[in-house]
Structure 1
Amino acid sequence: MRSVIIQGGLNDLGHPLWDNECSRPNPVVTAAELIKGLRNMIEAAHQRGIKAIGATITPIHGTYFYSPHGESVREEVNTWIRSSGAFDAVAGFDRALVDPHPADPQRPGPNPALTSEDGVHPNDAGYQAMADAIDLAAL
């Protein structure tokens, strides 16, 4: 294995909004906690000689995963993924899945054409858009 794509955080942002057996434990997380987890995964990959490709957290505005806190954390983590230099490359899944014509241009959510019936998780076209966002030369 030469590379691993690390995508995490979406469920961490959405699960604190409800309490059921499928979402527990469901603590409210901070950007620092998610970044610490990402750093641990990067370090584990690098210790094995594997490139770590960071995938940004996909849009949540207008979905059942949305909360003001979660959006703030998502934006902070995505900024860190793009600007920290900790990853060997970045796959912009947030940009790949964003609605190009949102009702509120200041708060775009996922593109309905690229998500499943739940409005959060990608459909086949969404997964293709995510695949297209990966720079194959970086692998």
Structure 2
Amino acid sequence: MRERARHAYARTQQFASAMAAADRADSDERTTVMNQPFGQTFEQSPKRGGDLLAAVTEVVLRNAPDPSPLADAGPDASLTAHGFDSMRVVRLLVDLEATLGVSLPSDAITAETFGSVRSIADAVRRTGGAPPAPPR
């Protein structure tokens, strides 16, 4: 248990550092970096369909300070522009991992990964994670 706490603390610190670096960057540059393509897009993955993007969207909206504008903005909208600061993103990370049953690798915990719903879904897809099956 103590090892898990240390690991979680280290990951939180790593992410906080990445977010602080992004906060220091120029606003236009930060938006450009966060909206760059992040590997294969989710829709190009034949295994996942739209389920993963929908599952990630649900978790992100659940953690958003004001979900309505973010829901209207779509999956490529900047999360920082919709009120996600470093602490809110850490809560989002914990919720994503618990809800989707994935563990994002340390190198995926970056400001770019948490730039938009789509970039989060792409990162989750690369880990091999999938949304839970719907109840029968």
TM-score (ref. length: structure 2): 0.29
> Whose strand proportion is higher, 1 or 2?
1
TM-score (ref. length: structure 1): 0.29
